[in-house]
Structures are given as structure tokens and as C-alpha cells.
Amino acid sequence: MDMLSDVVSFMRCGRPSSVRVSWRAPWGVSFRAVPGSAGFHVVLRGSCWLVPPDGEPVPLSVGDVVFLPHSDPFGLADDPARPLVEADCAPHSKLFASAGFGGTGPETVILSCGYRLDPDRTHPILASLPGVIHLPATLGSHPGLRAAVELLAAEIDTPRPGTDTVVSSLLDMLQLYVLRAYFETQDEPCTLSGWAAVLADPAIGRALDAIHRDPARRWTVESLGAHAGMSRAGFARRFTGLAGQPPLAYLTWWRLVSGARMLRESDASVAEVAERVGYGSEFAFGNAFKREFGVAPGRYRRRLAAHP
């Protein structure tokens, strides 16, 4: 599994939800922040305006995608001057649903999708993203993203046997395509920074991929540098400069959040989890885990069982 796929599959909990909404002018809605979630909105028909909490309204047209990785507040409206009414953001249990609102004027259809995120597993790649990412439907750009949008829209418009599985898979694909498209737009050498620069750096990418594929291995800065095809010192400098932390600090963090996932999703004992993520003893893993999460592994698992 490559790092970006690992990050996306790792940070979510539960299954996604989506709603296809038909808005008819006049209409204007505001969406409040929903901590512990991320979402995106795709314009399937018509046009509207994105109204961010700060800055100028942004026109949206068919095929445009808006991704909100931190669930910041925002608004959507048929007219940027339209007064906004707070939307009902109550979560629903359906994989996809449909609804209609507004008046009797021109129609805009928007597909809105949301994910719950586990705060214990938030990868720094997500924290590095801006509050609102707008990916316009520029002709010829991001063909994979456009194809996923079209398939998802067609599947929701006309549900058939197997639609639940198809929609769930397409929502997963769409999030990956959105992130890939965003990072591909950050390709000016003079402006690359943070995790955009990490993903664009083949050498550091090879080292990160090695960590994600085998976190239990007894990695050293030298052996990771060898995967990157770099000297120990040169690798350490570049990794720290791009990722914002030394390579072994990232390795430790990834081992611990991987251990947290195993405690959540498997019946493996704490000792087995410790071994699988590269700790020589349950005691050493427990101490490191408590420093990271503020609670011992066993108590962490019991807390999850009591509050799934």
C-alpha cells in the first residue's frame, strides 16, 4: 500500500455518508463546523457560489469539487448576496440519500459526502491542507477525478443491485482522487513546501513507503537513507526539512497510531500488537503508547469498547 492510500484508509472510521440535494433558486445555506469530520461537495448540475468564512465568494459550475478536510464552516448559495440559512447537519445512517430544497427557480444539484475521522489517527498530511480546496472542472485536467464523479453521479441517479458497494468504493476513490489532484496542482518548485513537497520527492517517498509497508522492521536513519538512495546525514536533513520532524520520530508516531488501529480493529493482545509494530516488549510499547495517547493500551481498548 502506498503512503497516500494508507493515510486515507487509516484516518477514517465508520463508513462514509452522502446526500444528493436538488436546490432550486432562491436558496442559500450555511454549514457549521463539525469537529472530527471531513467532506466534499460536487456540483452535478447547474451552478452556485461557495461562500467561505473569509475571503470572496467563489463561483462553482458543473463538475467542480470542493473539499473541506477540517470541516470548516462555509456557505453555498445560488447568489453570493443571498442571506444564508443554517443547514441541518445532523448525521444520517444511510450511505446515500436524496433531498430537495429551495424555491421554484433554476435547479442546482449537489452531491455532498462526509467522513468521520478518528482524532487519534489524524495524519500530518491532513493537517497541512488548507481549510477549503476548490478543484474546478478544467477541461482535460484530473481525468480520474472526473471519471469517478461521473460514475458516482450515475450510480446515485439510478440505483441498481450492488449500488451500496459501488457507491462506498467510489466515495473512497473520490477522496483519493481529490487529494491526488490537489497535490498535483502544487507542482511549482519554488512554492512546494510541507507534505506537498514530501509527496513530490521520490527519495523521501521511497523511505516513507518502506516505513508504511513494514513499521516493525528495526529501521535506522542509515537504512532508511539507503532506501532513499541518500547518505545518512543528507537523508536526515531532507526528511526533517520537508516533513517537519526527524525520520525516527515519524517512525515512532506511525508505529503507535498503527498499534492504536490494531487495538481498535482486532482481538490481538497488547503483547501481540507491540510485536507487530516493532516494540521488543509490551512494557516498552505501553510506556510509549501512554506518552502519545495519555492512556495505557488496555484502557484505550476498553474505552473504545464502551464508546464505539
Domains (ranges, CATH) in the chain?
3-185 (2.60.120.280), 201-306 (1.10.10.60)
Residue 208: is it exposed, middle or buried by C-beta count within 10 angstroms (0-12/13-18/19+)?
buried
Grid cell 457549521 in the structure block, residue: 32
Strand, coil or helix: what is 230? Answer: coil
Closest CA to 303 of 263, 247, 245, 251: 263
Distance of CA 160 to the CA centre of its chain: 28
Give all strands of the β-sheet with 74-77 in edge-to-edge order. Answer: 58-60, 48-51, 74-77, 28-31, 85-86
Half-sphere exposure of residue 100: CA atoms within 13 angstroms, side-chain side: 7
pTM greater than 0.85: no
Residues in the chain, overall count: 308
Q: Are 125 and 10 in contact (CB under 8 A)?
A: no
Beta-carbon contacts of residue 68 (< 8 Å; ≥ 6 apart):
38, 39, 40, 41, 74, 131, 132, 133
pLDDT digits (tens, 9 = 90+) for 172-205: 788 888 888 888 776 554 445 677 778 778 899 8
Average pLDDT across the chain, whole number: 85
Question: Phi and psi for 99 in degrees, rounded to 5?
Answer: -155, 165
Q: Choose between 265 and 96: higher pLDDT.
A: 265
- The one-character DSSP state at 57 is -
The pLDDT-based confidence of 66 (bands split at 50, 70, 90) is: very high
pLDDT digits (tens, 9 = 90+) for 73-131: 899 999 999 999 887 655 445 555 666 777 889 999 998 888 877 766 677 888 778 88
Residue 21: predicted pLDDT: 87
Indicate the angle between helix axes 282-293 and 247-265, nearest 10 degrees. 100
Beta-carbon contacts of residue 218 (< 8 Å; ≥ 6 apart):
278
Is cis: bond before 26, omega within 30 of 0? yes
Closest CA to 129 of 186, 89, 188: 186
pLDDT digits (tens, 9 = 90+) for 218-260: 999 999 999 999 999 999 999 999 888 999 999 999 999 899 9
Average pLDDT over residues 149-169: 82
Strand, coil or helix: what is 31? Answer: strand
Share of the chain above pLDDT 90, in %: 40
Which range, 30-34, 54-58, 117-121, 271-275, has the best average confidence (pLDDT)? Answer: 271-275
Strands 37-45 and 96-102: unpaired
The Cα-based distances of 238 to 4, 221, 222, 223, 247 in angstroms read 19, 12, 13, 15, 10
The pLDDT-based confidence of 137 (bands split at 50, 70, 90) is: confident
Query: Among positive and negative, which fits the CA dihedral 100, 103, 108, 112?
Result: negative
Residue 160 CB neighbours (<10 A) = 8
Distance of CA 31 to the CA centre of its chain: 19
